Structure 1
Amino acid sequence: MKRHVAVLAMLFGLMQMPAQAADWYADIAYADGGDEFNVYVEDDDGDLSTESVSLGGGFSGSLGGINYFTETFSFQYSLGYKEDSVTAGSDSVKFSRFPLDLVGSFDLGDVFQVGVGISHEFNPKLDLSDAGMGSHSFDDATGEILQIGFRFTSWKLLIRQTMMDYSYEGLDFDGDNVSIRAAFIF
């Protein structure tokens, strides 16, 4: 909790600076990591197989903005959707959530940048309805972000480490992950 407060305080302080410019931001990403739930799924032929859904992994997309405060510092904010799912036959199992990301980035030269921030994930849910085991809502979760990026004319290639833990009925699960992101600036 103390880490979250320190990161939020730093980001809030930096946001008080007047922005020189702003752009729209959109990204698509693939993440890997975190605890995995192994589930048995039945295909159309009636054969059972074991598949896994990752609490940290999956595909995501987000939309937001970037405010530029100096020539070397910017603040990116976005709201997105992230999901890892498995489908076999007509059954599917998925873990979904809505991340709100806030990242302050410092440019180190013309191309390279580093960033630190915070991610709050709303409505994390493990949906096992197709497997006959219902839907299970986890507590909202907050974690830290460390990010490096490479800037090009109108897009960025980002590598992000997110440290996230989820809670469900008193049990804690690891959602730490590493993602690769293609971010578009317009």
Structure 2
Amino acid sequence: MTDAEILLEEFLALRTPEGLRAQLVEGEIVVTPPPEGDHEHCMSRLVRQLVKRSRVEVQVSGHKGLVLGAAPGAPKDHVIPDGTVVPLTGRAFRGAPPWMPCDGVSLVLEVTSRRHRPELDREAKRRCYARGTIPLYLLVDREERMVTLFGRPEDGEYLRRDLAPFCKPLLLPEPFGFDLDTADLH
């Protein structure tokens, strides 16, 4: 067995205490505590807009496990976004295993934690989502007071990056097709 296979086997066998999330990100096991209230406030604002304002009907799952590509020499990433968005017409969540492939995912979103490694969302998870060729990655960076939309994944990176400071709208392209209101995300 390779080191990557051993690490993946150990990760999948973890018994994480209730409320904690374990992820395998670029060959590192990361355990995170439950989010605080301000984090969940941001998430509820984002989810409400995605569901009510998107041009297509969407489903949003909080904390759905995704299996993505792998960093060189590492096992496949097993990442849990704060939000995973799929078209309502698909059956992406129905019957899906705890760690599902990212096929059919339109957008993932992360809200940085003030307590636990915001650089994970800014850097490592961005590369994970790009390796998984997820079309859009929406990052709400509360420390920087900035919302970033990453798009056009290619070769493990996103080629497009659109930024909006809090209180300025950010255009979400099709299939969403609306200006995201960022005023109440702080």
TM score, norm. by length of structure 2 = 0.28
Larger radius of gyration: 1
Query: TM-score if structure 1 supplies the norm length?
Result: 0.28
More helix by share: 2
Q: Higher strand share goes to which structure?
A: 1
Higher relative contact order (CA 8 A, sep 6+): 1
